Structures are given as structure tokens and as C-alpha cells.
Structure 1
Amino acid sequence: MAIKILAAGDIHLGLKVTGLSAGAGEFSARDIWKRMVDRAVLSNVDIVALSGDIVDRDNRFFEAVGPLQAGFRRLGEHNIRVFIVSGNHDFDVLPQIIKAGSHDNVRLLGEGGKWEFEKFVKGNEAVQFAGWSFPVQHVRDSPLKRFDTGNIDPAIPGVGLLHADFGAGDSPYNPVSLADFAITGMDTWILGHIHKPQELNISHPYIFYPGSPLALSSKETGAHGPVLITISNNSVGRAERVFASPVRFENISIDISGCESEEALRDTLVSGLLDRSLSFGDELQDVSCISYGLMLTGIHSNPALVESWSSGMKDDFSHETGGGTMILVHGTDYNIQPEVSNIRELARQNSPAGILARTIVAIEDGEETEFLKNLLAEWKENHREMNRKEIYLHLQKMRLPDDDTDEKGKQFILTESKRLLGNLLQQKSE
């Protein structure tokens, strides 16, 4: 009899999806956890395996304790075991919640930063779990270096649970490498910490991030959802997604060249968004809404007019695919080239338009100019000053990555230079 394992990590109970337009409704980690429990029961899985950061933070205790305990209880009623480890977010709060419930079917592996092992047997199939939990928020030395292979039965498939930062040697969140896993003797490793689902090694050992089952923000693009692993004939299969996150974020670029009327622009944008959504096919079967970061590209005689025509998309656009998925737009950006017969010739001019043209050419050619360096330095300072303001402090609490890179700055300067150049040329033609 095969052993079925439903796996996920980084649920972050206490959080809700951010970045959707106002009409999208509310989607929370609490809802996705309940949906996972329902699917585990419906699919008759044997084990639910969770790879850390199940709760967002200690201050989310009261938001997480009820849903988590209810899920554990329901899984126990259907004889479903839960193997779980804590991560850097819930190193302190997850053990509290588990101990408060006293559920016999739930096992927190590796509490206190010490490896623990447990075997599960079903008929003629068996699996041995190994797990290690964060004892504190920051861990800079890989615990895999202290993995005791003497606890492993080489005749039984082994599945490891670990919250770790793969390939990031200087990370404070348990940095690990492929070489670290190779010496463990385990067949499969289910990792947590990175929200993007990805297979890191498909040979032996099989290592993967299931990713966050719910796409929590527009930074988490692509398909998300819990995965199923099957152990049969004494071997561990590869992960397969069992259902999709109800929210999906994607980025899309649409070329608006030739759209000289508002009607033509609208047709191009709507058809572009719909065609892209339909291209996902069955991947959207469980998806309530797909939200796009929209980049308008191309050449236009009046880029400022394009911005005006499309300005309402972020807040107002919604369109159904026909399969029940709502298409939304959570952001619009522009990389529209003004219609210039020879921008390099214009760049030789000693005029405001010439300065803008030189800046555009420099960025697109990958060159550095003194003027561009000064603009970039000013942009970075303004960006950092904005992020120091009180209104943005909540972003720091969510630990979003810094966006003040040269690449981001140059893209901003390029977009604004094209917009300003388009305005200047339009004024001259009037």
C-alpha cells in the first residue's frame, strides 16, 4: 500500500494576501491551511509534512492557534500524521502551539536544534523522517554538518524536513549546499524558507522547495500550491501539485506600438491579458483570480497619452476568463519609446531633449555617463529616504527585499526619460 504525503512550507498563518486591487476580495493563510486539511482528508493521505514558517511570527499566536489546532484535530480524527519543523519565523511560537494542543498525531521534529528521527509504517511500505527545527531566529552554521547517519536505515526510504537557505553561504537563515545533503543518506528533502516552488536537485537526493501554498504578494509570481509525494515499492516519487493557490500573480509585457487611439489601446490590452490567461489552461482550475503586473512597451507618438488612457487599469480592470477566474491588474509600468526618427542623432544635441536622449541611449547600451551616475545616486538616496518614513515601516516588518539596486534605478530613470522626452517632442509638434 502506497504512502501518500501532502507537503507544504511557509504558510505564514496570520498573513493575508497583499497587493490585489480593491475588488478582489480577501485571501488569507488561514483559508489555505483549512483547504489543505480538507484535501488531505478527501485524498486519504497518510502524512502531512510541513517545512517551517507555518506561523508568521510570535505576535500572530492568537490568530494562528485556533486554525492550526482545529486542523491538527481534524487530521487526527482521520488518522493522518503530521510531521513538522519550525523555521526562522516561528521558532518560538510553533512549539508553543503544538504543546498547547497535545495532539498525538503531531510530531515536531528537531526542537531545540537537535536532529530527530521517526519511522512511519503502512502495510509493506515504510518511510523514515528526519527533521531539524530552528532553536533561534538566526542560524549561520548548517546543521547538516551534524547529521548522524547512524540513525538512518538504508533499507527504508528517507524523507528530511528542513527550513534552510539553499546555496546562500552567508545567509543568517541556515545556509546549506548540495554537498551538505549528499552525505545524509536520505532520499528526499522537503525544504522551507524560499516561497518560490522549485526543484533543486532531481537526482539523489531529491531536494525541493514546495514553496508557499498561497501566493502572498505580487513578488510571488507563478504557480503555487501544496504538493503530493507518493512512496511506493520502497521508493519516493517526485512532487506533484495537488491544487493551486486561489491567487496567482504574473508579470506581462504588452507591445502597444500602433495603438494611436484609446479604443485600439483598450482592445490590445484586454486581448493581451485574456490570451495570456487562457494560455495557462488547466493551471487556473483552482485559481479565483490572476493578477498581473502590466508593462506597456513599444513605440508611440505620445507616450504620456498612453499613460493617461491606461491609468485606470490598476484600480478598475476586471475580466473573467470564462472558466471562473477573474483577471486583475495590480500595477502598471511603462517602457514606451517616443517616436523619434533617429534618437542617436538627437542625443548629439545640446538641449533638454538631447540630454534625455543621451541618457536613454546610455542605459540601453549599458554605458555609464557622469550624468547617469549622478541621477542614479540621487534616485537611491530618495528611495532610501522614502523607505525610512513611518508609513513604510510595515514593509520592513514583512522583511521585503531592498529594491534600491542599480538595475531598478536605471529602469526607473529610463522610463521617466522616455516619458519626458515624449512630452517634449509632443510639445514641439503642437
Structure 2
Amino acid sequence: MNDALELLYTGDLHLGRHPSRIPDDLDGPKLSPKAVWLSTVQEAIDRDVDAVVIAGDVVDQENRYFEAYGAFEDGVAQLDEAGIPIVVVAGNHDFDALPDMVDNLDADTLQFLGRDGQWERWTLERDGEPIAHFEGWSFSAEHVYDSPLDEYDLPATDDAPQIGVLHADLDSRGSRYAPVLSSELRDSAVDAWLLGHIHSPGIQIASRPLVLYSGSPQPLDPGEQRAHGPWTITIPENRDVQAEQVPLASVRYDRISVDVSGADDPQEATAVISDEIKEHVRSELDTRSLKLSLVRVHLTGRTDAHSALVDQHRSMERDLGFREGSVSVRIESIGVDTRPAIDLEDLAEGDNAAAFLAGLLLEIEDGDPREAYGDVVDDSLGAVRQAHSANAYNPLRRETELEDPDDDDAIEHLEQQARVLLDTLLSQKEGKA
């Protein structure tokens, strides 16, 4: 008999929300967070885990309460029937919605911890003996500026592992989302801290105590790259906590850099891009649950197709799609960072517009463009900031916190425009010749 404690842990379900940038012809319920939540429930039942742990933000926002309620209730009912307890805390997105939802659900196995921002302990027993103490704290308002650990006063135990469940912003001083420090977590008597809030999954502290962000089980935007899914947490008698991700997400966002040096035209570049992505899917991705791979492509290299790639990359984004095994592959975006197949050093020796642009590009590549071309960088920064403040970006601002453009953004924009202009000048010169 295996006496190790086994949990299935997730967080940031954001039921009611939907992954962004999904092509219309592929969009549907199978790609929703609800579908991955129900897959997580089935995984817990198949593994016969001791408990399911959810570290907050079950509901995306209060106005999506009713959409989330049915999905959450369905999963809870299945776990309740299987006799698997659910331990859950509230995050900043569902601080008011989740307590109401829990109160309305008829499930003996559902344990909501930390109501009203007060630390709370619940003990899981097996055959009348404690096998785990779960210690949780929940958001009671949308913004919490102080560390929840300031009020942590639960006594240490030695009869079973202690597992902290917390929605918090780790090592981010000044955060308004329950900032906590790694040092605070290390100083506690807890064996493992299961955190929510950050959507990118990963172990933050590998040694005792284990500190882990589950990440969102289904990625929600292109910034949430890599594999996603719940985690198994296994704690044997020696309390050596082990964590392993179960990649149940049906959507994956990735970024791939493709060198198209030597491509003579966009068609040839497209073939190179397709080959690189297919190899990435075959060799790098776990495709057991994956249905859609959305790839952000970064094109590099010197090529005669540079200008055409700049002009046609939008149509390439729309048209380049295929299947690799059971996975549909689509292009989320193409960033053209190629360079014309020209000798910039030789061209910069002249005294015309092309020489000026060549000198600017050389300075961007190897020097300090702010020092040598300060006025030009200022003009570029002004243009980028003006575009950033346009009304078209308002929906994105409501979903995410956009940072103001800086010199790096201005120089990147300047480099792209200078390359296109230089390529155009050289093409005009060749045409006259």
C-alpha cells in the first residue's frame, strides 16, 4: 500500500474567460478553461488522489459568475461523488464571487479556507488519523497591500505535513495583490506552499518548503507560454515533497525564432517556417491533450526577401496553418527582424540617404544609437507613444497592464522602419540602373 499523500493542485481557472487569439474556425467549448477544469477533475478521479487543491481565481470576474457557477458545480459534484475533498481559497478576481458560490453549492467535501482574510486550518484524515493539514488565506477585497504572512499565527504540527494554500504575489514589494517574500515562506513551518496568481507555472523554491505556482491550467493569452496544466503533489512519510506537471491544456502558446537567411522570396521563407514549427511540435511538445498550438514567429537573418516579408507578413499570419499529427498549428503573429542582404559597412561610406540609414543601422546593431542619433530616437519614441495611446488599445488595457514605451521600444521601431526604407531606396536605385 502506498502511504504517500497525493494531491492534484491547480489555480487561476478563470472560468468564464476564454483564451485570446484563437482562430474563428477552431474556436469552441473544447478550448475553454471549463473543458480543462473538467479534464482536471477526471484526472483526479482516475488517480484517486487524496484531495484537489485550488489556489484562487476560480471565477474570472463577478460579471461572469453565472457562466462559471455551472462549470465549477459540475466538477465539484463529480469530485464529491468520488469522495475526493476540494480545498480552495479566493483570489483577487473572485474575492466576493467565490464565497457566495461555495455557500450555494451542496458539497460536503468542499473546504473553503481563509474567509474574511483570516488564516484557517483544515485537517484531512485517513482512517481517523491526520494525513495533512491545509492552511489557507483568502482575499477579502480586490486589493491587498500587506503580506498575509504578517497575520499568520497557526501553530506548527508534527503529526502530518502542513500545506499552505495562498493566492499571492511572490517577491514583488509594493504589489497590491498580497505581496509575500520568499524569506517569509522559508521561515514558516509549512512543508509546501501552493500558490496562485501568476499564470506562468513553475517551481519557485525547490528545497523545503517547496514553493510552486501552478499557473493557469489553460493558458489565456500569448504571454502565457510553455505547457500548462495541473500538478501532482506527492508527499511521502519523509516529507520530501515532489511536484510534477500534468499537461492537460488543450491550447499552447509558443515563440519560435526562425532564421530565413538565404530565402529568395516569402514562399521560400514560408517553407522554412513550416519545417521549423513541425520539428518543434514533434520534438518539444507533449501532444496527448493538446489540440491547438499558437506560435509567435520571430524571423531573423539576412535575406533578399526582407522587404517582401515586411509587406506580406500579415497575410502569412492568416494563411499559414496546418496539422502536425493531432495538433492544429496556427501562427499567432510574425515578427520580422530580418536584414536586407547588403553590406552595411560598405554602404555607410557614402554621403547620401542610404549611407545615413546604413550608419544608423550599424549603430543600432553595435553601438549606442541614443548617443549618435539622439534626435532620431526621440522622434521614434514620440511616434511609438502616440500609437500606444490610441483608442484601439483600450480593450487590451482593460485586460492587461500595458507598460509605457521606452527607448528600447523606440529603437526597435526605428530599426524596422530604417530597414524597410533602406531596402526601398536600394530597390529604386536598382530599378533606375
Q: 1:331 aligns with which of 330, 333, 341?
A: 333
Task: Name 1:278's counterpart in structure 2.
Answer: 282
* Distance 1:366-1:122 versus aligned 2 partners, 3 A rule: farther
Unaligned runs of 5+ in 1: none
SS in 2 for 1:425: helix
Unaligned runs of 5+ in 2: none
- Contact 1:125-1:231 at 8 Å conserved across structures: no
- Contact 2:123-2:130 at 8 Å conserved across structures: no
* Distance 1:18-1:403 versus aligned 2 partners, 3 A rule: farther
1:176 aligned to 2:180? yes
Paired residue type of 1:288: K
Task: Name 2:148's counterpart in structure 1.
Answer: 143
Worse overlay, 243-252 or 400-409: 400-409
Task: Name 2:398's counterpart in structure 1.
Answer: 397
* Distance in 2 of aligned mates of 1:422 and 1:415: 11
SS in 1 for 2:296: strand
1:297 aligned to 2:300? yes
* Distance in 2 of aligned mates of 1:372 and 1:167: 38
Deviation at 1:308, TM superposition (A): 4.6
* Distance in 1 of aligned mates of 2:13 and 2:349: 55
SS in 2 for 1:278: helix
- Contact 2:377-2:410 at 8 Å conserved across structures: no
**1:52-67 equivalent positions in 2, closer than 5 A:** 52-67=56-71
Q: 2:133 aligns with which of 105, 128, 131?
A: 128
TM-score, normalised via structure 1 length: 0.93
Deviation at 1:337, TM superposition (A): 0.9
SS in 2 for 1:428: helix
* Distance in 1 of aligned mates of 2:242 and 2:367: 42
Paired residue type of 2:57: D
Task: Name 1:352's counterpart in structure 2.
Answer: 353
* Distance in 2 of aligned mates of 1:403 and 1:315: 29
* Distance in 1 of aligned mates of 2:404 and 2:251: 24
SS in 1 for 2:115: coil
Paired residue type of 2:150: K
Q: 2:23 aligns with which of 21, 39, 43?
A: 21
- Contact 1:126-1:157 at 8 Å conserved across structures: yes
Paired residue type of 1:375: D
**1:25-424 equivalent positions in 2, closer than 5 A:** 25-26=27-28, 27-123=31-127, 126-150=131-155, 152-281=156-285, 283-308=286-311, 310-322=313-325, 324-341=326-343, 343-347=344-348, 349-367=350-368, 368=370, 369-386=373-390, 389=391, 391-402=392-403, 404-424=405-425
* Distance in 1 of aligned mates of 2:143 and 2:110: 25
Paired residue type of 1:409: A
CA offsets, 1:16-50, max 9 Å, x none? Answer: 11113333323211221111112212221221101
Task: Name 1:8's counterpart in structure 2.
Answer: 10
- Contact 2:384-2:413 at 8 Å conserved across structures: no
